[in-house]
Amino acid sequence: MTTGHIPTCDLFDRFKDAVRYVLPGLRDFGAVTRFFGPVVTVKCVEDNSRVKELLATPGDGRVLVVDGAGSLRCALMGDMIAASAVSNGWAGVVIWGCVRDVAELAALQLGIKALASMPRASTRRDQGLVDVPAELPGATVLPGDVLFADEDGIVLLTAEQAAGLK
Ligand SMILES: O=C([O-])CC(=O)C(=O)O
């Protein structure tokens, strides 16, 4: 596995269509715009219980992928949860859904890509699935995939593909 970020365009040049690409639409909200790491997945709709729990545990340089089914009705992460991700060593959080506290997120040393901002928080009902196949626009993400993100977009590799990178 590589020890550094590889530009997503270089990954295309190397792998072409053997890797997965997330369709455009997710924006950068964190101070870090280039990040990579093995993926942990969460599937949750308008309930960020699992997101809060996971980001309070050691991240070890991993990236949390949140399949929020694209809901624009509430935010799945704000500055408190994101700050806990930073303290716990997560490399990034990619959310098919919304965030809030945008001004504070912009100051955090964390990669954050999400659809949009929304002041309304989610309602925690202790629901959501961890380590299951998760959808991002145009790509299915599996636990253990390796995600590379930068200003150009997001690319997903299998662990085997990532193992071959220098
Ligand atoms: O608590 C939430 O649901 C989201 C939030 O505002 C935070 O992370 O600060």
Is the predicted ipTM greater than 0.90, yes or no? Answer: yes
Whole-number pLDDT of residue 4: 87
- The model's pLDDT over 74-125, given as tens digits with 9 standing for 90+, comes to 999 999 999 999 999 999 999 999 999 999 999 999 999 999 999 999 999 9
pTM of the model: 0.98
AA identity, residue 22: V
Phi, psi of 83 (to 5 degrees): -65, -35
Rounded to the nearest whole angstrom, what is the distance from the C-alpha of residue 16 to the centroid of ligand 1? 38
Report, in this order, helix, strand and coil percent for the chain, each rounded to 5.
Answer: 20, 35, 45
CATH of domain 30-130+139-160: 3.50.30.40
What's the rounded Cα separation, in Å, for the pair 73 and 4? 36
- Residues with Cβ within 8 Å of residue 17, at least 6 apart in sequence: none
pLDDT of residue 2: 65
CB of 83 closer than 6 angstroms to any ligand 1 atom:
no
Residue 165 pLDDT exceeds 70? yes
Residue spans of the domains in the chain: they are 30-130+139-160
Ligand 1 binding pocket mutation candidate from 77, 88, 108 (most atoms within 8 A of CB) = 77
pLDDT in tens, 13-24: 999 999 999 999
The CA 77 to ligand 1 mean position distance, Å, reads: 5
Please tell me the predicted confidence (pLDDT) of residue 84.
98
* Cα 34 to averaged position of ligand 1 atoms, centre (Å): 24
The token pair at 128 is 């959501």
Per the prediction, the chain carries an average pLDDT of 97
